[in-house]
Amino acid sequence: MIKKDITINDVEGFKSIGIDAKLRKEKRENLALIYAKNGAIASGVFTQNVIKAAPVIYNMKNIENENIKAVIINSGNANACTGEVGYQNTEIIAKNIAKHLEIESEEVLVNSTGIIGVQLPMDKILSGIEKICTEVQNHNDKHSIARAIMTTDTKPKEIGVELELDGKKVKIAGIAKGSGMIHPNMATMLGFIVTDINITKDMLEKAFKPTIDKSFNMISVDGDTSTNDTCIILSSRKAKNKLIDKEDKNFNKFKEALEYVNIELAKMIAADGEGATKLLEVNVVNYKNEEEAKILAKSIITSNLTKAAFFGADANWGRILCAMGYSGVQFTPNTLDLYFKSGKGEIKVFENGLPIIFNEDKVKEILLEKEVIVIADFKTGEHSATAWGCDLTYDYVKINGSYRS
């Protein structure tokens, strides 16, 4: 697997574009399109929230289509809690895209992120759609789409890799936006991955869904899951590799590369959580089963007390222990070791279920880094899990406490 500056535009069968359709106050792209002229197979993972935005409901139906040709994304408005009008607007968007690109509306997926409870500014969106459909064929800024889907994100999130399957090149490229919450209302986590791998729809789904459980489902910015969370993968199947139709060696290579792409995007989201000053990684290792290891890791990463302690570079192992203790997992702490680790080194602070004396200056130096790792080693099994998050800061409160107006 080679990590390259590969964007959606570099993957055969796809064009991408982001334009400013005046949907947000900031002067930046805010309407995005992925266009697969000859169609793509797709798979998607959608929010578990009972309250689902109109485009999510729309996509959950259309994702089964064997031939997706366009994915439209607007920022600035989530089209959530907007009732029947909101759903009709989603359909109108799909129809307009279809008209301008001369495709079927069932071949369009629609995504929105931004304020909830307000109807989409359809006049601006429809003008934007006309423009974006015209310009997509000859658009040269490969990074404009990653900017267009941003809301409170402070930087665009994109990554691409290339791999070889029996000597044939296959590309994967992805973009994402953060789970932080938009001023004035909630936003969402969105991820879009494209690839040219020659694979069946079944196998694409089989590769994709487990990688979500190890990436986007293992991050937490504030524990809140939104009405619009969506991650979609598309494949143009233009690569020359032998068709993957079972879980063979090439399938595994692809899945591994996909997991890398998704984890990197997920980490970018965690590190760019609202107000965050650092990326936290939690490794629960040598535990008796993976499912519980995941629960333990996520309980630590979502604990406000732990997150606030990391903001203060405080080696507060007690909060980590406590967060595992109330996670619902029944464990015995008497084999547990805890470590803090970063670019400045690694230090053990807890051993076999008991606190130990450690060098406070050293631990402070470790915790002041921008990326900090917590290791919980249970020494009782062969399973591990990793979760990512960020610290809880003054700026988180500031951003989320501010008035909607």
- Binding site feature residues for substrate: 151, 177, 188, 274, 400, 405
Q: How far is the CB of 326 from a copy of itself (least distance, A)?
A: 4
Alpha-carbon distance 140 to 158, whole Å? 16
* φ/ψ bin of 365: left (φ > 0), alpha (ψ from -120 to 50), beta (otherwise): alpha
Where does residue 340 rank: exposed (0-12), middle (13-18), buried (19+ CB within 10 A)?
buried
* Paired tokens of 26: 């900031």
Find out whether 292 and 331 touch, Cβ atoms under 8 Å: yes
Query: Under the criterion CB under 8 A, does residue 347 sit at the interface with a copy of itself?
Result: no
Q: Which stretch binds a copy of itself (CB under 8 A): 96-104, 287-295, 326-334, 372-380?
A: 326-334
Q: How far is the CB of 363 from a copy of itself (least distance, A)?
A: 10
Among candidates 337, 338, 300, 340, which has minimal Cα distance to 322?
Answer: 300
Question: Within positions 57 to 96, which residues make up the interface with a copy of itself, using CB under 8 A?
Answer: 80-83
> Element (H or E) spanning 385, and its range?
strand 383-390
Query: Under the criterion CB under 8 A, does residue 335 sit at the interface with a copy of itself?
Result: no
Q: Could you tell me where the beta strands, DSSP code E, fall in 166-222?
A: 168-177, 190-195, 219-220
Residue choice 269, 321, 373, 374 for contact with a copy of itself (CB under 8 A)? 321
User: How many chain residues are in contact with a copy of itself, going by CB under 8 A?
Assistant: 66
Find out whether 168 and 12 touch, Cβ atoms under 8 Å: no
Alpha-carbon distance 371 to 373, whole Å? 7
> What mask, x for binding a copy of itself by CB under 8 A, covers residues 235 to 274?
----------------------------------------
200 is catalytic: no
Annotated binding site: 151, 177, 188, 274, 400, 405
Please identify, using beta-carbon distances, which residue of 11 and 392 lies nearer to a copy of itself.
392
Query: Under the criterion CB under 8 A, does residue 368 sit at the interface with a copy of itself?
Result: no
Query: Under the criterion CB under 8 A, does residue 404 sit at the interface with a copy of itself?
Result: yes
Residue with tokens 């450690």: 358
Query: Under the criterion CB under 8 A, does residue 357 sit at the interface with a copy of itself?
Result: no
Q: How far is the CB of 146 from a copy of itself (least distance, A)?
A: 25
Amino acid letter at 348?
Answer: K
* Paired tokens of 187: 């936003």
Q: How far is the CB of 276 from a copy of itself (least distance, A)?
A: 12
Question: Within positions 199 to 238, which residues make up the interface with a copy of itself, using CB under 8 A?
Answer: 222-227
Residue with tokens 């359709």: 21
Alpha-carbon distance 303 to 320, whole Å? 8
Amino acid letter at 165?
Answer: L
Residue choice 25, 27, 48, 167 for contact with a copy of itself (CB under 8 A)? 48
Count of CB atoms situated within 10 Å of the CB of 161: 20
Alpha-carbon distance 287 to 271, whole Å? 26
Q: How far is the CB of 241 from a copy of itself (least distance, A)?
A: 39
Query: Under the criterion CB under 8 A, does residue 289 sit at the interface with a copy of itself?
Result: no
Active site amino acids: 188
Residues forming the site for a copy of itself (CB under 8 A) = 48-51, 80-83, 115-118, 181, 184-186, 222-227, 303-305, 308-309, 311-319, 321-327, 329-331, 333, 350, 353-355, 360, 391-394, 396-405
